[in-house]
Chain A
């Protein structure tokens, strides 16, 4: 069992080891959904929700089932993530059709989002307990949202500036991400 304090887990996951900018997890939505601040924010919030659910189910699996069959870990985690996303999708569709329309394709795409699967794996590797896992999930989710919103606001302002022809598109996004990542390195001394 890991004995890190909840506070340090939270801040480590949110800013110091930010999932997107320091560990390269969840890059697909980071590139794809970061053109508008509003969509980025919604995507981030949906991510927090799924991350918390994943953390809970990973804890249940680890404590009660995987103890005796550790080699089934990857397979069982991916099944859990896939079915979880499916359930969330159905629930959202039933409870709030408006939100369902707004999220569109990004809801089902969460199955192959490395941030979600990565959370389950990292949580297991570090031996987090129940509350530690929950804190880790919320911190990581907030970190993802922060990175997405920052990126989206930068991209919104860059849109109207005069960028060289060759830099339009992904190249520019990656260089902005590099700069953001450098800025986040400033948090390294925090813990």
Chain B
């Protein structure tokens, strides 16, 4: 395994290896609950809680988990914290809990969380695993809020329920419907591909100009 510094562990998940936009993990929640910024924030908060707690627990108990049953052990740890998150949301934010519905329980099968346990927490110490989990959580939040923002602004003409364009705005209802989720993520990926391509041509051009 290549050596990384703690700050790299932290930053990596935020942009360069963003779980949703680059690695395409955890797409279910990213598409299903991002029809408003508020839902996106509630979902990211729950996921953030689960990934941080499970990373800490898995990395501190890694010596006691036999290699053969490690995946089941990780899933059990994750399921425990999802149950906790579910109960906490139900107690303190009942409205959001109702709106997100079954998708809170579905955090268990978010491949992003299991992926971080298997790829990072199982091999590193508690401090580094926590940094990695926080970074990945922030990356997930950025992606979700970005999508939620696009979809809410275009689909209802408001941001966090504050009206932006006044009464004359004709909302693009399609953006808050399921089809809008696929289209938004698709167009974000196209834009990222475009930027990437521009960067590549620029570097080849400069390389040719200065031999």
Contact of A121 with B105 at beta-carbon distance under 8 Å, contacts A74-B83, A75-B80, A171-B186 already known: yes
Closest to B114 in A: A112
Report the bound CA distance from A22 to B31 in whole Å.
10
Contact partner, A166, options B80, B114, B182, B197, Cβ 8 Å: B197
Contact of A117 with B79 at beta-carbon distance under 8 Å, contacts A27-B28, A125-B101, A171-B190 already known: no
**Interface majority SS on B: helix, strand, loop or mixed?**
helix
- A23 interfacial by beta-carbon distance below 8 Å: yes
Report the bound CA distance from A82 to B69 in whole Å.
12
- Cβ B109 vs Cβ A27 within 8 A: no
Contact of A182 with B179 at beta-carbon distance under 8 Å, contacts A74-B79, A74-B82 already known: yes
- Cβ A114 vs Cβ B180 within 8 A: no
Contact of A185 with B177 at beta-carbon distance under 8 Å, contacts A114-B109, A125-B101 already known: yes
Q: Which residues of A contact B (CB under 8 A)?
A: 21-25, 27-28, 31, 71-75, 78-79, 82, 111-114, 117-118, 121-122, 125, 165-167, 169-175, 177-179, 181-182, 185
Contact partner, A118, options B106, B182, B189, Cβ 8 Å: B106
Report the bound CA distance from A175 to B193 in whole Å.
14
By a CB distance below 8 angstroms, the chain B residues around A175 are 182-183, 186-187, 190
Closest to A179 in B: B179
Q: Which residues of B contact A (CB under 8 A)?
A: 24, 27-28, 31-32, 72, 75-76, 79-80, 82-83, 86-87, 101-102, 105-106, 108-109, 111, 114, 174, 177-183, 185-187, 189-190, 193-194, 196-197
- Cβ B182 vs Cβ A114 within 8 A: no
A78-B109, A112-B109, A117-B108 known, 19 other contacts, Cβ within 8 Å: A22-B178, A24-B28, A25-B106, A31-B27, A73-B105, A74-B83, A74-B108, A78-B108, A79-B72, A117-B109, A122-B102, A125-B102, A166-B190, A166-B197, A171-B189, A174-B182, A174-B185, A178-B183, A182-B174
- Cβ B106 vs Cβ A71 within 8 A: no
- Could you jot down 20 A-B contacts, CB within 8 Å? A23-B178, A24-B181, A72-B83, A74-B79, A74-B105, A75-B76, A114-B109, A117-B109, A118-B106, A122-B102, A125-B102, A166-B194, A166-B196, A167-B190, A169-B193, A171-B190, A174-B183, A174-B186, A177-B186, A185-B179
